[in-house]
Structure 1
Amino acid sequence: MTEAPIRTHEKSIMVDTTAPALYDLVSDVTRTGEWSPVCTACWWDDVSRAGQVGAWFTGRNQLPERTWETRSQVVVADRAREFAWLVGSGFVRWGFTFEPDGGTTRVTESWHFLPAGIAMFHERYGDTAEIEIDERIRLAHDGIPRTLEAIKRIAETS
């Protein structure tokens, strides 16, 4: 029997700026296209609720073979500590946490492929679900360090 793949991933990077400045940057989802290798644009579904717990936003994602949109809901909005959201009906949880260290901050990006997402992939893709799930895992492992490097570059040159 083979072991199930790890369906969660996180990575950290030190950034030469404050936790509030980093939080303000990444919680502005309209800027996501500046650092994400897959999500090219995001917009708040209701601008009056932007950045608040319960607020919904839409993201446009693009890979060479396809483009698609997802809706996400903010589940944590704790300035300078954590910003997180759920994709769809609880399919995936993405988030950032911030740990101040003097004048620098450790920012950690995390990704969790949740049971509802796994079930949805099995329903949608049937016999090829595990191949599709493996691809999402690969994209998270590839994308998170690239995202963090881009956020660091943007934050340290602003």
Structure 2
Amino acid sequence: MAAAHEYSDSVVVTAAPDAVYAVVSDVTRTGEWSPICEACWWDEGDEPGPDGPREGAWFTGRNKTPNRTWETRSVVVAAEPGREFAWLVGGKFARWGYLLRPVDGGTELTETWQFLDDGIEFFREKYGDEAQDQIQNRIDAAHSGIPATLARIKELVEAA
């Protein structure tokens, strides 16, 4: 399925890809770096095993803005230590993820976001005439939130 809207940004973190992956794949820490998601937890039975999170595992996130608080469930669609961690919000509405690539001095960490066709359709059904404004709000949040998230992850990993 093609993404209707997408955005990504990158930062170099002075740590090995496996160390960076261990942080970004721990969804229970998301509230430490996300400007909107204040907390995440693994759904019962989907807690990570000794090798970390797995594809197909579900987690719930609590998001908060000045105007509202809401929760979403997401499914992990990529869990490759040192390489990629990604999830689909609602199982089909938006794809968020982290790509990791070794570079001189550490890891290039790229955060990606795609607002998928099913998500846009869901917003049109839910918000009607206000759908485009709501979609634009999500686009704006990704464009401001991703650089802020990456800066905070870099700070946390490098301080460890």
Q: How many residues align?
A: 153
What is the aligned partner in structure 2 of residue 152 from structure 1?
154
Over 2 Å off, 4+ runs: 46-50
Pick closer, same or farther for the CA change 1:48–1:134 going to 2, 3 Å: closer
Q: Distance in 2 between matches of 1:104 and 1:73?
A: 28
Q: TM-score, normalised by structure 2?
A: 0.93
**Aligned residue for 1:96?**
98
Q: Unpaired segments of 5 or more residues in structure 1?
A: 1-5
Q: Which amino acid aligns with 1:83?
A: F
Look up the match of 2:42. 44
Partner of 2:85: 83
Normalising by structure 1, we get a TM-score of: 0.94
In the superposition, relative to structure 1, how do residues 145 and 153 fare at CA in structure 2: closer, same or farther (>3 Å)? same
- How far off its partner does 1:101 sit? 1.1
Aligned with residue 9 of structure 1, among 7, 10, 17:
7
Identical counterparts, % of pairs: 54
Q: 1:22 aligns with which of 14, 20, 23?
A: 20
**Is 1:74 equivalent to 2:76 in the alignment?**
yes
Q: Distance in 2 between matches of 1:47 and 1:24?
A: 20
- What residue number does 2:115 align with? 113
One-letter amino acid of the structure 1 residue matched with residue 42 of structure 2: W
Q: Which amino acid aligns with 1:98?
A: L
CA RMSD of superposed structures (Å):
1.1
Equivalent position amino acid for 1:25 in 2:
V
Q: Describe how 1:121-140 pairs up with structure 2 within 5 A.
A: 121-140=123-142
Trace 1:49-64 onto structure 2 (pairs within 5 A).
49-50=47-48, 51-64=53-66
